[in-house]
């Protein structure tokens, strides 16, 4: 039998000196007694996986509208892939695998339906009410919106997981009052952030090829593709089509992961890092690509935006879906009583627009389409007594 204390002792004996240890956690906003068998970060990971927001990721768009292809990635499969890569990098660097996995599993909880198009639409609709950002929304979900415990709102995650969800922050606030703000999160948080990038660039490329929206011929001039493509063809000349493309992408991911491990290790050593405090005092992240790979990834990102994310077949479907999102938003703002009972309880505290935004951002693609039909089909209009004119809607999408 291995107790929590045993696990914490193993961390002390095996992790790098600059790894974040469970026993050294800054704790939770609402203090809880330690668990006899699970570390703090194991409990965090379990709370995220068992949350309703995590389950809904299965039916949220990654790039392609959910339901348009059985093998295309969703927010859930993307999240699991990020967690897998995060653990690999953390393990190689002697860091806390469970912490970086927990951050990775929670990093996309705040995504709206219909992918980045849905996020842009909600941000526009909330322009006069604080806007919308999926990173900020992930924090709102785990700190406020999820309701699982009778003594507090949210999941009451540890300080280090919440720190990891504050992506792109310029400064981080310490848990102790009056302590100095710091510049960088833990190395485990930095890993989850970069693993997200490795995963979505490579796997969006995979989905784009699988869905025939981009072709290998278009990628021939891309160094990040061509290098591994030629190597795979040299070792496996009989591979063709999907088998060839998917194996090339597997090699691209593996090369990126190895590059990050090697480069980050060199950066940690060069900076003289010996403790978690040393990490947090750094002005720039220590988990990073080598400069040649960074240049290649920037070129890939530019290619994907030009040829995949705004491809007419992707953008057209998302535009129609986002029009429905806008319609439902206006209907709820006009008639807040249409919201669910649990959501309506937050109207007084958060105001109508933010409460509506929270509700919509938590929807799956499928549920939002169903809700639009419920509200704006002839039967729905009669049942809910909400007309397009009353809701402020000038155009409905069939």
In a domain, 336, yes or no: no
Q: Are 313 and 213 in contact (CB under 8 A)?
A: yes
CA distance 259 to 238: 28
In a domain, 144, yes or no: no
Q: Are 41 and 168 in contact (CB under 8 A)?
A: no
Q: How many domains does the chain have?
A: 1
Report CA Rg, the chain: 23
In a domain, 284, yes or no: yes
81-121 pLDDT tens trace: 999 999 999 999 999 999 999 999 999 999 999 988 899 99
In a domain, 138, yes or no: no
CA distance 85 to 163: 20
In a domain, 173, yes or no: no
Which residues, including other chains, have CB under 8 Å from residue 56's CB and lie 6 or more apart?
Answer: 362, 363, 364
pLDDT band at 279; cut points 50, 70, 90 = very high
Full residue range of the structural domain in which residue 268 is found = 189-311
CA angle 221, 223, 228 (to 5 degrees): 110
Count of Cβ atoms closer than 10 Å to residue 240 Cβ: 10
pLDDT band at 7; cut points 50, 70, 90 = very high
Lowest mean pLDDT among 64-73, 297-306, 311-320, 340-349: 64-73
In a domain, 133, yes or no: no
| Nearest by Cα to 193 from 285, 262, 279, 270 | 285
In a domain, 304, yes or no: yes
369: its two tokens: 């389409």
In a domain, 219, yes or no: yes
């Amino acid at each position: 039998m291995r107790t929590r204390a045993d696990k914490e002792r193993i961390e002390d004996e095996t992790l790098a000196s600059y790894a974040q240890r469970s026993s050294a956690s800054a704790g939770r906003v609402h203090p809880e007694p330690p668990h006899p068998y699970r570390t703090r970060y194991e409990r965090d990971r379990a709370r995220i996986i068992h949350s309703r927001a995590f389950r809904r990721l299965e039916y949220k768009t990654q790039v392609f509208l959910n339901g348009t292809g059985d093998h295309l990635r969703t927010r859930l499969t993307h999240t699991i892939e990020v967690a897998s890569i995060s653990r690999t990098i953390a393990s190689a660097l002697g860091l806390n695998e469970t912490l970086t996995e927990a951050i990775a599993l929670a990093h996309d909880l705040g995504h709206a339906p219909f992918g980045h198009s849905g996020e842009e639409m909600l941000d526009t609709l909330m322009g006069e009410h604080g806007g919308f950002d999926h990173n900020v929304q992930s924090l709102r979900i785990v700190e406020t919106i999820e309701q699982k415990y009778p003594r507090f709102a949210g999941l009451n995650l540890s300080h280090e997981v919440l720190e990891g969800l504050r992506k792109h922050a310029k400064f981080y606030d310490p848990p102790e009052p009056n302590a100095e703000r710091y510049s960088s999160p833990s190395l485990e948080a930095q890993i989850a952030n970069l693993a997200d990038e490795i995963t979505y660039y490579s796997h969006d490329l995979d989905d784009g090829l699988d869905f025939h929206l981009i072709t290998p011929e278009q990628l021939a001039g891309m160094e990040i593709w061509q290098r591994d493509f030629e190597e795979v063809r040299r070792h496996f000349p009989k591979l063709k089509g999907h088998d060839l493309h998917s194996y090339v992408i597997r090699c691209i991911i593996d090369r990126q992961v190895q590059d990050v491990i090697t480069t980050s290790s060199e950066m940690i050593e060069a900076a003289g890092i010996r403790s978690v405090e040393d990490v947090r005092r750094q002005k720039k992240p220590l988990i990073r690509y080598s400069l040649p790979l960074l240049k290649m990834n920037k070129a890939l990102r530019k290619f994907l935006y030009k040829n995949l994310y705004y491809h007419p077949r992707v953008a057209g479907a998302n535009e129609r879906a986002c029009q429905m999102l806008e319609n439902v938003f206006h209907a709820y703002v006009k008639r807040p009583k249409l919201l669910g009972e649990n959501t309506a309880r937050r109207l007084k505290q958060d105001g109508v627009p933010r409460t509506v935004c929270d509700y919509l951002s938590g929807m799956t693609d499928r549920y939002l389409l169903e809700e639009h039909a419920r509200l704006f089909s002839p039967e729905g209009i009669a049942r809910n007594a909400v007309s397009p004119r009353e809701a402020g809607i000038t155009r409905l999408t069939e």
